[in-house]
Each structure stands twice: as C-alpha cells, then as structure tokens.
C-alpha cells in the first residue's frame, strides 16, 4: 500500500508539472475538425488519427500503428512489460467528432478551443478526445515517474464512433489476437455530477429503420382525388400511433419478453441518485413528461427499452399550402434496447408488426440502418468493477454510485469479441453538451479522470 500511495503522489506531482503542456496537447488535437459524418472531412479524420498515434508514441507506448478499415482509421499502441502474470487492460476511445451545426449557437468557433471558467470549450472536448487524452497521460505520467506500469496496457482509438462504428466490429475480429485483454476500459461516458461520482455499467442497444410508404405514382389534386385515394401521411400517422399503447408501452409482440430485471443493488443505487425531475425537465426544454407507465424517468431512459419516431417527411411543407394528396412519404423509427434483447429478434418482430398493419395496395420499403447495436452491461459485482469503484472512490473522496446510459456504442462488441468485462471510466457531466453547441470539458473532472486511470491500473493488478 505504501508503494501505491507513493505512485499516487508522484502522478499528482506529474500533473502539476505538466499541466500546461497537457492542455496545449488537448488544444492542438481539438483544432483538427475530425467530423466522420462529413465526406469532405476524410483527410481531417486521418490527420486526427496521425495525431493520436503521435500522442501514443510520446507517451512511450510501443507498436503504435494506424489500423486501416473500409472507412476511417483507428489507432493502436501498447506497453506490455508488466509481465505475463499481470493483467492486460485495453483502453477504448474515439478520435472522430460530431458535426457542429447549428454553428450560430456556438459562443466561440468549435475548432478553436478556449478555456472559460475552468472549462475547455470545443467540439470533441468531452466526446471523446479529452477523455482519451487523460487515459494516455496517465500512462505517460506513470512511465515517467515510476518507469513501469503495474499492468499491461493497450489502446485502440476508433475513427468512426460518431457514425455508428460501421467497420469497428470487423476490425475487432481481425485484430482480436492483438487486442486480447482481461478488461476493456471505455472512457466515453459520464458521471452523475461533480460531487456525486458514479460508474456507468451499461449502455442501451439500438436498431433503426428508414421506411418509405408509397400509395401511388404521382401527387394528386386533393379536390379531385382526395377522400377516395389512400394518403401516405394518414398511413404513416396510423402506424406511428399504433407503436405505443395507452400506457406508452411498445406494442411489438414479445418486445418486453427478454428484458432483464434490475438487481437489488442496481435498483438501490438508482434510487439513491439525487434526481430532480423539474430540473431535468428544464434541461430538456419540455413542460411535461411521458413514457412507460409506472417507471421513473431514470428507469425509462436507462433501463427500459423504448421506441421513438425520429423523423417524418411527407407531402408539401413549404410556404403556404399546396392542395395535393402526396404519393409517398417517409418515417424513421429507432428502438433502444436493454439486456437481454437481441437486435435481430427485435427487427424480425418489427417487420412482422409492420406487415400486419399496412393496408393492401400500399407499397412499403423498409431499410434497416446498419446491423444494429446490442446492449452492453457489466455486472456491478464483477471484480473488475470493484477495482474501478475503489479507484474512483479514492480520487473523488466518496463511494461512487452505479448508473446506466441511454445511448449506444460499440462497447457490447468490445466485450463480446474480446471476451472481457467492459469498465466505464468516464467523467462527462450532464451539462457538458455532448453533440451540441458549446461542448465542454470541465477540467477538474479531466485531472481527476487522469488520476483515477492511474489508480485503476494498480487496483486491477492487485486483483
């Protein structure tokens, strides 16, 4: 324990001595507009990958390599000198970022990082360059101050997370021997608040569909044909209305059959969170709440499956009015999934549900948006979660609670392909504006995340 305490103090001293350089490294990375969703930013995403590789090399990681995919590149690096009996941890993060629209809502240019009131503001500050950087700097700091790490460490930093990781699972299978590990550490999530540390233990899965409804060959005059021909807007409205029952439960047959119940410890941790419903509504900009009857907001958004219509386009939507019966329309629908729901099973159920409800003579074309993402969950009683719990507790000075997140990512694939538990060491805060204008990293969280990463290596080594 004496050596652990000394390492902790040395890492703190390292942070103090290197603070300005670390911030400048973060700023330099954030200046690269690595928007994976924009084809015209392909070169910038590659430049970001090259910068990531440079950061890994400067941290004394070895075997650094840009891993090519059918899309944007990922980056790999490792330090494997802790010995064959020491555990191996794989750090996952991503270097691509979201688009910046609407640009006029940014208080400063999104790729010109600034420090305001202890916050680094720029696109990618929290999601995910800032969180990847504190993982890299924790390794660099321990190697510079201790000369070694208590565990073997590998990094894989993806370049397509913000567009759904379409090539990442293929990369995992291709590189599975090189990426093999005892635990995955994902730093792309958040905490409850600055003063209530928490550990995310799960993320929801996702399946989504783009559905085209066609009722005729051309738009028709609503006075001549209206009332006698089918209207795709009405068909879509009927389908959307039928997705939920009066208690806001999804009506797909068997949709809830595989939903895993919370454990008593998970439920207790959920109940202990100081949730302010009115404040949450204000942050969402809404004046009323809906959702599955009998479930709290946190249950609805974290631990229960959902269905949302994310877009409808049909008919004339310009200025004034155009008196037509449109010939076609489009609706986009997404389902968030929880353990133990399977994307393929939900897809099959949705297609059967849709077929039963579309009237004869209506043409429907359904296109799944990707293969789907399975939900991820690491049991709260897993020993590796205990190691993370102790590391965070030591840095924040209080025992962390357990949370889940409603979003989706490649963490399930990481755990499944590599056969390892996934630990979520994320420090984002509810006000960090993930995917929104004026994204930020609260730097106090950054420095604590760096120290917690260093603590985690020691805790994993002790088993």
Mind listing the domains of the chain with CATH numbers?
A: 2-203+375-462 (3.40.630.10), 205-259+305-368 (3.30.70.360)
User: What are the C-alpha distances in Å from 442 to residues 114, 240, 301?
Assistant: 12, 40, 24
Residue 172: what are its φ and ψ, rounded to 5°?
-60, -45
Tell me the backbone φ, ψ of residue 72, rounded to 5 degrees.
-80, 150
Check: CB of residue 36 under 8 Å from CB of residue 162: yes
- What pTM was computed for the model? 0.89
Cα gap 38→100, rounded to integer Å = 11
One digit per residue, the tens of pLDDT, for the chain of length 463 reads 555 556 667 899 999 999 999 999 999 999 999 999 999 999 999 999 999 999 999 999 999 999 999 999 999 999 999 999 999 999 999 999 999 999 999 999 999 999 999 999 999 999 999 999 999 999 999 999 999 999 999 999 999 999 989 999 999 999 999 999 999 999 999 999 999 999 999 999 999 999 999 999 999 999 999 999 999 999 999 999 999 999 999 999 999 999 999 999 999 999 999 999 999 999 888 999 999 999 999 999 999 999 999 999 999 999 999 999 999 999 999 999 999 999 999 999 999 999 999 999 999 999 998 778 899 999 999 999 999 999 999 999 999 999 999 988 899 999 999 999 999 999 999 999 999 999 999 999 999 999 999 999 999 999 8
Angle at 291 between CA 240 and CA 426, to 5 degrees: 110
> Which residues are bridge partners to 422 per DSSP?
184
Those residues with Cβ within 8 angstroms of residue 255's Cβ, 6 or more apart along the chain or in another chain: 249, 305, 346, 349
Q: Which residues pair with 76 in a beta bridge?
A: 65, 156
Structure tokens at 161: 């997370």
Distance CA 178, CA 107 (A): 43
Supply 11's token pair: 């890492």
Burial class (CB in 10 A: 0-12, 13-18, 19+), 261: exposed
CA dist 367 and 356 (Å) reads 17
Q: Which residues pair with 183 in a beta bridge?
A: 89
CA 95/CA 127 separation, integer angstroms: 8
């Amino acid at each position: 324990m004496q050596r652990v305490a000394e390492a902790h103090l040395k890492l703190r001293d390292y942070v103090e001595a290197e603070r300005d350089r670390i911030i400048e490294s973060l700023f330099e990375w954030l200046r690269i507009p690595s928007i994976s969703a924009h084809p015209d930013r392909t070169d910038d995403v590659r430049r970001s990958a090259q910068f990531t590789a440079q950061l890994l090399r400067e941290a004394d990681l070895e075997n650094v390599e840009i891993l090519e995919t059918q899309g944007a590149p990922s980056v790999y690096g490792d330090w494997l000198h802790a010995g064959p009996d020491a555990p191996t941890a794989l750090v996952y993060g991503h270097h691509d970022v979201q688009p910046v629209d609407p640009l006029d809502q940014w208080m400063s240019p999104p790729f010109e990082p600034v420090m305001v009131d202890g916050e680094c503001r720029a696109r990618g500050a929290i999601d995910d360059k800032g969180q990847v950087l504190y993982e890299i700097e924790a390794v660099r700091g321990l190697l510079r101050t201790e000369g070694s790490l208590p565990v073997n460490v590998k990094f894989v930093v993806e370049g397509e997370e913000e567009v759904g990781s379409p090539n990442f699972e293929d990369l995992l299978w291709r590189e599975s021997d090189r990426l093999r590990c005892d635990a995955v550490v994902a730093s792309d999530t958040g905490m409850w608040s600055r003063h209530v540390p928490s550990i995310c233990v799960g993320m929801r899965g996702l399946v989504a569909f783009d559905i085209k409804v066609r009722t005729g060959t051309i738009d028709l005059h609503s006075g001549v044909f209206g009332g006698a021909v089918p209207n795709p807007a009405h068909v879509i409205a009927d389908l959307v209305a039928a997705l939920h029952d009066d208690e806001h439960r999804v009506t797909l047959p068997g949709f809830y059959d595989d939903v895993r119940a919370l454990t008593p410890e998970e439920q207790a941790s959920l109940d202990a969170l100081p949730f302010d419903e009115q404040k949450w509504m204000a942050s969402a900009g809404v004046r009323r709440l809906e959702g599955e009857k009998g479930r709290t907001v946190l249950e609805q958004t974290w631990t229960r499956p959902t269905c949302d219509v994310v877009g409808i386009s049909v008919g004339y939507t310009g200025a004034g009015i155009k008196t037509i019966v449109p010939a076609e329309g489009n609706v986009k629908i997404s389902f968030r999934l929880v353990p133990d729901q399977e994307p393929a099973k939900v897809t099959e159920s949705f297609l059967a549900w849709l077929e039963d409800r579309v009237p004869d003579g209506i043409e429907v074309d359904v296109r799944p948006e990707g293969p789907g993402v399975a939900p991820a969950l690491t049991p709260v009683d897993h020993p590796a979660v205990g190691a993370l719990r102790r590391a965070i507790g030591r840095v924040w000075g209080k025992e962390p609670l357990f949370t889940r997140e409603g979003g989706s990512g490649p963490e399930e694939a990481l755990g499944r392909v590599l056969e390892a538990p996934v630990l979520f060491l994320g420090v984002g805060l509810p006000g960090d504006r993930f995917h929104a204008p004026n994204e930020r990293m609260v730097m106090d969280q950054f420095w604590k995340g760096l120290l917690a990463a260093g603590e985690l290596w020691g805790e994993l080594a002790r088993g």
